[in-house]
Amino acid sequence: MPVIVEADHVREIDIVAVDLARDGDWSRWRTVPGEVIGTWAGEQVHVALDLVAALPEAEQMRCFIPRFALRLRNETVVLAEVAFCFRCHNALCISSPHGPKTPTWFTFDPESEPAQDLLRRFRALDHPTRAVGE
């Protein structure tokens, strides 16, 4: 799995419930559209980054309908964002002018233990009336 941002640079991670109704054309995104539903700090940052780093690759599908994203921050500066589609096995990375150049896409196995753990953590923050398939 590619390193998105060096873990030492990340202080907080905002979890975003992606809202495709705001902007469904991911090819134009400069930031992931949606609502921040939680923020992880301290040990949670390291756990989340370790889970992302442990995601095994998978065969790429085509739908890309992400439900959740990570916004990696160093205090108030956004370093990068990663939107996850657990249906098509794709993650879209958006670089920030304040962070390193990130890979644009990577695939992951949504059935793997790290992916399922990450998804459980996302769902724990999501509002139950909005939780519709991943």
Domain assignment present for residue 132? The answer is: no
Inside any domain, residue 48: yes
Of 15, 13, 66, 67, nearest in space to 37 by CA: 15
Q: How far apart are alpha carbons 7 and 57 in whole angstroms?
A: 20
Q: Is 17 part of a structural domain of the chain?
A: yes
Q: What is the pLDDT along the chain (134 residues), one digit of tens a residue?
A: 567 778 888 999 999 999 999 998 888 899 999 999 999 999 999 999 999 999 999 988 888 999 999 999 998 899 999 999 999 999 999 988 776 676 688 999 999 999 999 999 999 998 655 544 55
By residue range, what is the domain housing residue 28?
Answer: 7-125
The domain total for the chain is: 1
Angle at the Cα of 33 from the Cα atoms of 9 and 56, rounded to 5 degrees: 55
Question: Chain centroid to CA 69: how far?
Answer: 3
At 7 the pLDDT is 83
* Structure confidence at residue 100 (pLDDT): 65
